[in-house]
C-alpha cells in the first residue's frame, strides 16, 4: 500500500482515517498543529499522541518533505529556492520582500501545458501535477528556512500561486491546498492573503468561486481575441467574452478588485488603440490593471516597449478611470520565475486594497 503524505490531507480525511482506528476527532486537530504550526518532520515527534496512536498513523501515512537543492539571493532581497520532489523533479519557489510584506510565490505544477508563447515555463512543457502536500510544503519549508524559530507561516504574509504551472489546470489539488493553507490552527492565511493567478480557464474560475473566495488574478495580456489566441492558446478554448463572463461570477468582486495582468510587448499590444480596447473590455467590472513590461529573454523574440510608450499607455487607462499599476523589476539578477515576480507583487497589492465601488 502506498502511504499517504499527511501534509496533503484535509482535516475531514484525517478525522475519518483516525475514526477507522478508533481515535477521537480532536486527534486530527492535534496532528494539524504538529504539521503546520510546529512543522515537525517525523510522526514520532507528535508527543501528545500515544506511542500506539503514532504507530497506527505510521501504518498508513508519513510526513513528506520537499528538499532544498539550491537557494539564490537577489541584490534586492528576493530569494529563489529550488526544491527537489520525491521523484527528483524540481520546482521553484520565490520569496519577495516588499514594504511590510513577505510574499511567497509558489508553484502548482512541474511545467505547464498552457503553452503561452511568451512564458519560459510554458515553452518548457508539462511534466506533472503537484500534489496538495507539495504545494503546501513550499510554504512550510520556506518558513522553516527563513525563520526556524518561528511557528506556522512565520513572517510570510501572503501567498501567490504564480510560480510554475497553471493552478486551475490542477484544480482538485490546488483547492485542497488552499483549504489547508487557511486552517486557523495551521498556517492561518485568509482569503485576502491568498492569490490565485490563472491564464483564463473559464469553467474552473466559476467553480473556484463556488468553493473559495481567494483573490483572483487573470493573465489577460491582450484585449482582442485574435492577438490573445496567438499569444495564449487557452483563448481558443475560452475567448474573452467567456473569460469576462466567468470573472463576473466570481464572488470576491463584491469586496475586492480582480487583478488583470497585462504584459506590455513592444509593437504588439502597447498602442493607444490597444489601451482603448482594454478600457472597453473591462467595462464596469471592478478591476485593477497590473502592467508588466515584458521581461526580455534571449530565447524569446518579444521586446519590452520603451519608457514613453509605457507612460502613454498608463496615462490613457488612468484618464479612463481605470486603476493601474506598473512594476519595477524584482529578482531580475536571479531570473526569478522569469519575470513573473512583478506580476506577483502587484497582485498582492491589489488584493489588499478594498474596491472603491
Buried b (16+ CB within 10 A) or exposed e, 320-356: eebbbbbbebbbbebbbbbbbbbbbbbbbbbbeeebe
Q: Which strand (E) or helix (H) includes residue 272?
A: helix 272-282
Question: CB of 311: closest distance to ligand SAH in angstroms?
Answer: 18
Which is the catalytic residue, given 53, 119, 199, 338?
338
Choosing from 74, 103, 215, 219, the residue that interacts with ligand SAH (CB under 6 A) is 219
Question: CB of 200: closest distance to ligand SAH in angstroms?
Answer: 8
Question: CB of 197: closest distance to ligand SF4 in angstroms?
Answer: 7
- The phi and psi torsions of 258 (rounded to 5 degrees) equal -80, 140
Using the minimum distance from each CB to ligand SF4, give the nearer residue, 112 or 243: 112
346 makes contact, choosing from ligand SF4, ligand SAH, none, with CB < 5 to 8 Å by partner type, with none
Q: At a CB cut-off of 8 Å and minimum separation 6, what does 249 contact?
A: 205, 206, 209
Determine whether 105 is an active site residue: no
Residues that bind ligand SF4 (CB under 6 A): 112, 114-116, 119, 121-122, 165-166, 199, 219
Q: In angstroms, rounded to a whole number, what is the distance separating the alpha carbons of residues 102 and 154?
A: 10
CB 69 within 8 A of CB 90: yes
User: Does 334 help bind ligand SAH (rule: CB under 6 A)?
Assistant: no
Determine whether 207 is an active site residue: no
343 makes contact, choosing from ligand SAH, ligand SF4, none, with CB < 5 to 8 Å by partner type, with ligand SAH
Buried b (16+ CB within 10 A) or exposed e, 3-16: ebbbbbbbbeebbe
User: Does 235 help bind ligand SAH (rule: CB under 6 A)?
Assistant: no
Kindly identify the residues of this chain, within the stretch 238-297, that bind ligand SAH according to CB under 6 A. Answer: 261, 263, 292, 294-295
Neighbours of 209 (CB within 10 A): 19
Residue linked to cell 485593477: 288
Contacting positions for ligand SAH (CB under 6 A): 118-119, 162, 166, 197-199, 219, 261, 263, 292, 294-295, 338-340, 343
Q: Which residues are catalytic?
A: 92, 338
Amino acid at each position: 500500500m502506498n502511504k499517504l503524505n499527511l501534509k496533503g490531507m484535509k482535516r475531514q480525511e484525517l478525522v475519518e482515517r483516525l475514526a477507522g482506528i478508533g481515535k477521537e476527532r480532536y486527534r486530527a486537530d492535534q496532528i494539524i498543529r504538529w504539521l503546520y504550526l510546529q512543522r515537525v518532520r517525523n510522526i514520532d515527534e507528535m508527543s501528545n499522541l500515544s506511542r500506539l496512536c503514532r504507530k497506527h498513523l505510521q501504518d498508513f501515512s508519513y510526513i513528506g518533505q520537499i528538499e532544498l537543492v539550491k537557494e539564490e539571493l537577489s541584490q534586492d532581497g528576493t530569494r529563489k529556492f529550488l526544491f527537489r520532489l520525491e521523484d527528483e523533479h524540481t520546482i521553484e519557489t520565490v520569496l519577495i520582500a516588499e514594504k511590510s510584506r513577505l510574499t511567497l510565490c509558489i508553484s502548482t505544477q512541474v511545467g505547464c501545458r498552457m503553452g503561452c508563447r511568451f512564458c519560459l515555463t510554458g515553452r518548457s512543457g508539462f511534466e506533472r501535477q503537484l500534489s496538495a502536500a507539495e504545494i503546501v510544503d513550499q510554504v512550510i519549508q520556506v518558513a522553516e528556512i527563513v525563520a526556524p524559530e518561528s511557528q506556522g507561516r512565520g513572517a510570510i504574509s501572503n501567498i501567490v500561486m504564480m510560480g510554475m504551472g497553471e493552478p486551475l489546470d490542477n484544480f482538485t489539488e490546488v483547492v485542497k491546498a488552499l483549504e489547508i493553507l487557511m486552517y486557523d490552527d495551521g498556517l492561518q492565511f485568509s482569503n485576502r492573503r491568498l492569490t490565485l493567478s490563472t491564464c483564463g480557464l473559464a469553467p474552473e474560475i466559476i467553480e473556484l468561486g463556488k468553493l473559495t473566495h481567494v483573490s483572483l488574478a487573470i493573465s489577460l495580456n491582450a484585449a482582442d481575441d485574435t492577438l490573445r489566441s496567438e499569444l495564449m492558446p487557452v483563448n481558443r478554448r475560452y475567448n474573452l467574452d467567456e473569460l469576462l463572463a466567468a470573472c463576473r461570477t466570481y464572488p470576491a468582486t463584491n469586496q475586492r478588485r480582480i487583478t488583470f495582468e497585462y504584459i506590455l510587448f513592444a509593437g504588439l499590444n502597447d498602442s493607444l488603440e490597444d489601451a482603448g480596447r482594454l478600457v472597453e473590455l473591462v467595462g464596469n467590472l471592478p478591476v485593477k490593471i497590473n502592467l508588466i513590461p515584458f521581461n526580455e529573454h534571449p530565447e524569446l523574440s518579444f521586446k519590452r516597449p520603451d519608457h514613453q510608450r509605457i507612460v502613454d499607455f498608463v496615462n490613457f487607462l488612468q484618464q479612463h478611470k481605470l486603476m493601474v499599476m506598473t512594476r519595477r523589476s524584482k529578482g531580475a539578477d536571479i531570473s526569478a520565475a522569469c519575470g513573473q515576480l512583478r506580476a506577483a507583487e502587484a497582485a498582492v497589492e491589489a488584493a489588499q486594497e478594498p474596491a472603491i465601488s
